[in-house]
Amino acid sequence: MKQRFRRIVIKIGTSTLTAGTTQINMPRIVSIAQQFMSLLDSGAKLVFVSSGAIAVGREALGNPDLPKSIPGKQMLAAVGQPRLMNVYGQVFGIYGITVAQVLLTNEDISDRKRYLNARNTIESLLMQNVLPIINENDTVATEEIRIGDNDNLSALVANLIEADMLILLTDQDGLFTTDPRKSDNAQLIEEIKGEEITEVIWFGAGMAKGELGTGGMATKLQAAEIARHSGATVVIANGSEPNVINRIVDGENVGTRIHPTVDSMESRKRFMLAGAAKDSWISIDQGAAKAFKKGGSLLPIGITGVHGQFERGDIVWVKNKDGRDCAAGMVDYSFEEINKIKGKKSTEIEKVLGYAYGDEIIHHNNMTVLGSEA
Ligand code: GLU
């Protein structure tokens, strides 16, 4: 049966957005907006990772040479990013799509608390049917904290929102057995299945396995490797192909399709179970345990006790009234906060704490419920 993809991250590189020129190509932007519209109409949730800030900044300043220094590039990104968003706001608006800008650095994704903030913001946008448009926060991302390229950023975002598909659009038809610009014998790799991406494939992408990619296909393959281990199907394809996004989602053979090594549920489960601290747990009553089974979140009212020391964003165990582990999940509130609000209604959180991060102590999307033990 054909798989229906529900949560899709689409990363589009500068070369696709400019159609290889020095300025944004409006027909391309219109085509992207149209394709997004039809996917959104079908009920899919989309996140768009867009490059192009530096290119638009350059265009705005009359195409100076690309500065080599980081501050030079940051300056161009600062000029270009709002202009790029303005184009998206206008064009996507014609198709009824409201856009939002989300700029991320490595720290926003690697630090647990900030991870949770980024994730909650993106989830809230998706819930409102707003299209998050993500780019690296180039103006503050210095060398040490840079992700460095939007391929890897898009893989981290796919992981963050548990995407089931990541599409990387570029100016080549996909991954080849060797560089097609240098060899006539280069053949398109249509599919990669199985656990290992082989040495031959890494080599074809331009680097040996384990080396750090510096852009191009190698970086895309690196990104694919991250995303497929968190349960996403990854497709690398040519952004100049007509209707390419919809065709990929429909399962047509375009570009290189890299299959996931785990499904996203399984990946989330592993992540939660591996990350849960042994000595921190929340005890819940029977009503809360039953609610989990039906897809409910953990609310303060169902909490009878809290044990250990943990922060907002940590993963903790949830124990049922018999003291058995029945779930593990990422908490939206710290140990101290939960101690104050346990047993209370969610509407009282703000009154007790003076602020609230939301109604849930652990959102259902951030937890894994264990078998029949609840
Ligand atoms: N963040 C850069 C920009 O918007 C692009 C980085 C990349 O494409 O990998 O210009």
Residue 208: the pLDDT is 60
Ligand 1, atom nearest to 50 Cα: 4
CA distance linking residue 3 with residue 264, whole number of Å: 13
Task: Please determine, for residue 81, whether its predicted confidence score (pLDDT) is greater than 90.
Answer: yes
> Predicted confidence band at 294 (pLDDT cuts at 50, 70, 90)?
confident
Q: Concatenate the DSSP letters of all residues of 44-103 into one string.
A: -EEEEEE--HHHHHHHHTT-PPPPSSHHHHHHHHHHHHHHHHHHHHHHHHHTT-EEEEEE
Centroid of ligand 1 to alpha carbon of 145 (angstroms): 15
Q: Name every residue whose Cβ is closer than 8 Å to that of residue 53 and which is 6 or more positions away in sequence.
A: 76, 77, 80, 81, 84, 135, 138
Q: Whole-angstrom distance between the N-terminal and C-terminal Cα of the chain?
A: 32
> Predicted confidence band at 61 (pLDDT cuts at 50, 70, 90)?
very high
Residue 1: the pLDDT is 60
> Predicted confidence band at 82 (pLDDT cuts at 50, 70, 90)?
very high
Tens-place pLDDT, residues 158-187: 988 889 999 999 999 999 988 888 888 889
**Which residues are paired to 315 by β-bridges?**
330
Q: Whose CA is nearest to atom 9 of ligand 1?
A: 149
CA distance linking residue 105 with residue 284, whole number of Å: 36
What b/e string do you get for 309-321 counting C-beta neighbours within 10 Å, with b at 16 or more? ebebbbbbbbbbe
Tens-place pLDDT, residues 216-261: 888 999 999 999 988 999 999 999 999 999 999 999 999 999 999 8
How far apart, in Å, are the Cα atoms of 26 and each of 16, 172, 210, 273?
11, 20, 38, 46
- Pick from 131, 130, 109: which is nearest to 118 by CA? 109
Tens-place pLDDT, residues 351-373: 999 999 889 999 887 888 887 54
Token pair listed for 11: 């990363």
Q: What percent of the chain has pLDDT over 70?
A: 94
Residue 374: the pLDDT is 42
Tens-place pLDDT, residues 183-226: 888 899 999 987 777 777 887 787 666 555 556 888 999 999 99
Residue 288 sits at φ, ψ, to 5 deg, of: -65, -40
All domains of the chain in start order, with CATH: 7-262 (3.40.1160.10), 270-369 (2.30.130.10)
Tens-place pLDDT, residues 51-60: 999 999 999 9
**Residue whose CB lies within 8 A of the most ligand 1 atoms, among 10, 18, 54, for a mutation test:** 54
How far apart, in Å, are the Cα atoms of 291 and each of 91, 199, 323?
43, 47, 17
Q: Determine the angle formed by the axes of helices 216-229 and 150-160, rounding to 10 degrees.
A: 10
Tens-place pLDDT, residues 301-358: 999 999 998 988 888 999 999 888 999 998 999 999 999 999 999 999 999 999 998 8
The mean pLDDT value for 32-44 works out to 96
Q: Is the CB of 17 under 6 A from ligand 1?
A: no
Centroid of ligand 1 to alpha carbon of 185 (angstroms): 31
pTM confidence score: 0.82
Token pair listed for 229: 């281990």
